[in-house]
Structure 1
Amino acid sequence: MTIQRHDTKPRMSRAVIHNNTIYLCGQVAGPEHRFETMTVQAESMLSRVDALLEEVGSDREHLLSATVYLKTMDDFSTFNAVWDSWVPQGHAPARACVQAPMASPELLCEITVVAAVK
């Protein structure tokens, strides 16, 4: 069983594939959206998930699990509105959503996902 690491840096890889399972590193909004609203940041973050999944041979229909980190649970319903329009009907992954401090004060959300290879 080989382990494939993509875009590996000293502290992490952007994605790791093992046994046809893809593990993505935490994704946040793109730099151009980091001072925007929760809606804009969530859309940007999920767009980055889409791009990374495509890069490593998967898509959102193959999501297995997601862990969502929100700076404040006050944004829970706003985040869910974006999430609900992003997840394909019938393909919702197992999901957890927690409040957590962010690595940078302007960030409002982060996500880690696990997906199957297409």
Structure 2
Amino acid sequence: MATRGVSEWNAFPPLWQILWHLGIAVPPPPFLGFVTLATLSGGLFGPLFAFAVWVLENRRYEGMSGERALWIALIGGAVFGLIMAAYYRHLGRKHRLGSWSAFPAPGLRP
């Protein structure tokens, strides 16, 4: 992908490196479909974001309810997932990457 102008950070983001290290064979983000990418990135970001907000809010006196943290996870994950999916689909079209199965670097597949 580097020969087509895609940076290594975008081609192999840290979350994907963790998934590959765990043995989960998932194509790099520019090769995933919109819904899959939105679900994967939003589904992992939402709970982490909500937990961070919950920890920071509970340092105050009034604290945060679990229900509010759940809503933050759902909304934050959905927004982040949609933005990341749109960005990576745009990146794939911009660099004309095609499909992962047709990509000419089989040695780099996880």
Normalising by structure 2, we get a TM-score of: 0.28
- Higher-strand-fraction structure: 1
Rg (Cα) greater in structure: 2
Normalising by structure 1, we get a TM-score of: 0.26
- Higher-helix-fraction structure: 2
